[in-house]
Amino acid sequence: MLDWIKTFIAVYETKNFSFAAEKLYISQPTVSLQIKKLEQNYGIQLFHRNGKQNVVPTKEADFLYPKLLAIIENLSNSFEQVMQKENFKEECIIVCSNTVANHILPKLMTDVLKTFPNVNFTIKMMNSKKALEQIQNNHAHIAIIEKPIETPNLKKEVIYEDELVLAGNADSKYWLMREKESGTRFFNEIFMNENNIQLPIINIDSNELLEKLIEEGIGQSIISGLAATDKIKIQKKVNSRKIFLIPNPYNSSIEISKISELIKNLMKDF
């Protein structure tokens, strides 16, 4: 049908079967056959034959020409638009734990954004368990977490070994603790149990706030070595933990896979 329409437009514009055939790079008999099929299919006459090759458009042809021309032009414009990648930017949702969001991902995103300019990124910070749930519920494309959670049916790759340190005022009577299901809380509980520490606990739902309290000399806690600054007093290294990247196997694409690979490669030099 599309070929018939293009042939009709060419004949209408040239008023000649041979000229239309040359314009379309097809034979003159093919032009005649397509016009005949178009007329038979809809039971209308489109052209009055004036000699063997010349034709005169009918009123029906005059009516159809601008409408069919608009269809072809719109079709051509649609394909031109679909070829422009900026019109179809891919979405990539990255969910990550507090430590990753505050101390790792910001240092990677310059390279990620430069490499993938046609991807719309969304970055969400949450604890490790919630980040994993986002992948399991198909609400995110990539999760980066630090808690060693069991992930059946999901591929979990180690991308970094994070040093854990005991930070804060050793004489403080308070222990600072992240919320339940947090990766940092997991390691704090292990340390407190192993060392029989029984101090009043201040529960905090943000690494940033926890670190600010330590800077002010309030409490002590196990934190990531990546958070160490001149304002945070480090008592000693106590452990290490793995940082994991978990891609979503249910909602992926070539572009998303490439983003995961880039993050893994960047972490090799982190």
Report pLDDT for 85: 61
pLDDT digit string, tens, across residues 183-202: 889 999 999 999 999 999 99
Average pLDDT on 82-90 reads 71
Which CATH architecture is the domain 2-82 placed in? Orthogonal Bundle (1.10)
With CA atoms as reference, report the closest residue to 7 among 22, 25, 20.
Answer: 20
Is 68 exposed, middle or buried (CB count within 10 Å of its CB: 0-12, 13-18, 19+)?
middle
pLDDT digit string, tens, across residues 123-170: 999 998 999 999 999 999 999 999 888 888 899 999 999 999 999 999
Rounded Cα–Cα distance for residues 37 and 170 (Å): 92
Report pLDDT for 147: 87
Average pLDDT on 26-52 reads 91
**Whether the Cβ atoms of residue 222 and residue 239 lie closer than 8 Å to each other:** yes
Report pLDDT for 5: 92
Q: Check if CATH label 1.10.1660.10 holds for domain 163-241.
A: no
E strand spans, 170-218? 175-178, 201-204
Determine the angle formed by the axes of helices 17-24 and 2-14, rounding to 10 degrees: 130
Report pLDDT for 228: 87
DSSP secondary structure letters along 112-179? HHHH-TTEEEEEEE--HHHHHHHHHTT--SEEEE-S----TTS--EEEEEEEEEEEE-TT-S-EEEEP
% of the chain residues with pLDDT over 70: 99
pTM: 0.68
Please say if the pLDDT value at position 87 is more than 70.
Answer: no
Report pLDDT for 255: 92
**Whether the Cβ atoms of residue 121 and residue 94 lie closer than 8 Å to each other:** yes
Please say if the pLDDT value at position 11 is more than 70.
Answer: yes
Token pair for 95: 């969910």
Report pLDDT for 19: 93
**Whether the Cβ atoms of residue 200 and residue 173 lie closer than 8 Å to each other:** yes
Report pLDDT for 78: 82
Strand bridging mode 90-96 / 119-125: parallel
Average pLDDT on 67-78 reads 90
The ranges assigned to domains in the chain are 2-82, 87-161+243-268, 163-241
% of the chain residues with pLDDT over 90: 77
pLDDT digit string, tens, across residues 89-111: 889 999 999 899 999 999 999 99
Q: 2-82 and 163-241 share one CATH topology? A: no
Report pLDDT for 86: 62
Report pLDDT for 153: 85
Rounded Cα–Cα distance for residues 20 and 5 (Å): 12
Distance of CA 187 to the CA centre of its chain: 32
Average pLDDT on 102-121 reads 95
Candidates 3.40.50.720, 3.40.50.10300, 3.40.190.10, 4.10.490.10; CATH matching 87-161+243-268: 3.40.190.10
CA-based diameter of the chain, in Å? Answer: 108
Which sign does the torsion angle of CA 93, 99, 102, 106 carry? negative
Average pLDDT on 14-30 reads 93
pLDDT digit string, tens, across residues 190-236: 999 999 999 999 999 888 999 999 999 999 999 999 998 889 989 99
Report pLDDT for 257: 94
